[in-house]
Structure 1
């Protein structure tokens, strides 16, 4: 089988990362979570006083973006990659509601997207990767051999996010999460730089009523069609 690039785009909390991680592990590809990269930049901005309350010091972030290095390392216990920010494991920190509520404004900044896309394209030079995010099939890898666009109702996505946080022992409010999901949808679709949209040649997957196993089966079938 030839090695290909797989781009999985879609709305927040659609299960894109779970799908992408499982497929990458199944076929022996490298998984890259582009959303985690923007979350890591957001975490850096919060922890370093760049994103204070609702104000972003864009000039300072522009100067420091070159010093923000994000990488992924396999967690032997979970069998999945963890996100590292400048050499520190931040996988759990970047999934907090504080980061979730602030990641969209950070990801709309053109210089942040430019820096992250450059890192992502470098990671994907050798093919044999699965990357998920908002603009992978449209901006990062427009020539990807397999593109998937994932959607589901806001309520279903909020419930999944709520269940995920509760399982980790974190406090969570369903109403707050649902509002955050809707706000992120609006920002993602209406930002000036690389707005969230389905690439013309992407396959649409509405997983509102699908189990994880049904999704995995469907995705693996699409992979087999393209990689032969």
Structure 2
């Protein structure tokens, strides 16, 4: 029996991760934040003192990937996010992580279904997902969200610096030759610019339940 898969894509700080976690909790599905995999690879490269744009360095990191890095407190830093975006543009890295993600979707822990969020879930990883969402928001709103998150962690970065980082990452993620960030043709767009988290979750659940044919 094929288990239902929900694919949630979108740019940095769009709210896709929060929505994915909440949807998974409500439905009792397993959740995989695929961005954490790329962040772990990027962080591994940085910890080795190597260049995340170097395919050989990225390949070494992914081959020796320690999954304990998924819990590393540095995983959410902007520096790690930048490194993740760079290693994600390397084909061999994407190939190495592709099977892991697809296997999770096909055989999710708990055996009920899976929610995966990232940047190419609906287009590359799970093109046959039962429901696809593309979550977005204006760069300014996303920068404010990320700024407040970083501020709570003690970061001294300004909101303007965070906005520049997000705009740079958007351009890199959308313009890369390998699995660029884009909305799947059969994905439903959810713009969270003017939505608080509870409203966004409610709307996302409406879309998902309609797509799955459940109430």
After TM superposition, the score normalised by the length of structure 1 is 0.86
In structure 1, the partner of 2:71 is 89
Structure in which a larger fraction of residues adopt helix: 2
Q: CA deviation at 1:187?
A: 0.7
In structure 2, the partner of 1:68 is 65
Q: CA deviation at 1:69?
A: 4.7
* Change in CA separation of 1:64 and 1:12 when aligned onto 2, cut-off 3 Å: closer
Alignment gaps of 5+ in structure 1: 71-83
**Range that drifts further, 109-118 or 163-172:** 163-172
Give the conservation status (yes or no) of the 8 Å contact 1:34–1:131. yes
| Equivalent in 96, 105, 114 of residue 95 of structure 2 | 114
Deviating runs (4+, > 6 A) in structure 1?
Answer: none
Q: Once the two structures are superposed, what CA deviation does each residue of 1:171-203 show, in whole Å capped at 9, x if it has no partner?
A: 221111100100111111110000011101000
Alignment gaps of 5+ in structure 2: none
| Equivalent in 131, 144, 149 of residue 116 of structure 2 | 131
Give the conservation status (yes or no) of the 8 Å contact 2:41–2:61. no
2:84 is aligned with 1:99 = no
TM alignment of 1:162-177, pairs within 5 A: 162-177=147-162
Give the conservation status (yes or no) of the 8 Å contact 1:14–1:207. yes
In structure 2, the partner of 1:9 is 9
Q: Once the two structures are superposed, what CA deviation does each residue of 1:206-227 show, in whole Å capped at 9, x if it has no partner?
A: 1100111111111111222122
RMSD of equivalent CA atoms: 1.7
* Aligned-partner Cα distance in 1 for 2:178–2:121: 13
After TM superposition, the score normalised by the length of structure 2 is 0.91
* Aligned-partner Cα distance in 2 for 1:162–1:64: 29
| Equivalent in 49, 55, 58 of residue 58 of structure 1 | 55
In structure 2, the partner of 1:182 is 167
| Equivalent in 176, 186, 193 of residue 208 of structure 1 | 193
In structure 1, the partner of 2:36 is 36
